[in-house]
Amino acid sequence: MTGFIAVVLYVVWIQLLALSYAFPRVPMALFGGRKFSDWERAEVNRDPAFMVRAKGAHLNCVENFPLFAGVVVVAALMGKSPVVDSLAMFILLARVGQSLSHLISTAPAFVLSRATFFLAQVGMIFWICFQLIV
């Protein structure tokens, strides 16, 4: 898998996570007695637990995506795409693993799993940065 393909798949994953908490809001507003404007801005969050976790997983993806996309683009501009390509699939898999751990549960084992997947991504991105510098 190339770094660019991993970036595209990462974007697809971010969008799927966004839909996983945005899409259920439509029937809640149409049939569930909630107004379309009745979402957590400056209010207590009344969403179901899964939607709260889905939003958290989505936001985690969004905050880490620029770093990953940045090293992919920089590597390409430097003519060093193989440095990224060697780890791109593993970074993407760690991201999906982190998201799935987030979606499944907030039990301590899943929080530890989520942190492990996150640290794996951080470590791989640091490694890519190091390889691009040296």
Q: What is the pLDDT of residue 37?
A: 66
Q: What is the pLDDT of residue 40?
A: 63
Q: What is the pLDDT of residue 130?
A: 94
pLDDT of the chain, 134 residues: tens digit per residue: 889 999 999 999 999 998 887 778 778 778 877 776 666 665 667 778 898 899 899 999 998 899 999 999 999 999 999 999 999 999 999 999 999 999 999 999 999 999 999 999 999 999 999 999 99
Q: What is the pLDDT of residue 31?
A: 82
> How many separate helices (H) and strands (E) can be counted in the chain?
5, 0
Instruction: List own/partner pairs for 18-21 with CB under 8 A and 24 or more apart.
Output: 18/58, 20/51, 20/54, 20/58, 20/103, 21/47, 21/50, 21/51, 21/52, 21/54, 21/55, 21/58
Reply yes or no on domain 3-133 having CATH 1.20.120.550: yes
Q: What is the pLDDT of residue 32?
A: 75
Domains of the chain, by residue range, sit at 3-133
Q: What is the pTM of this model?
A: 0.81
Q: What is the pLDDT of residue 8?
A: 92
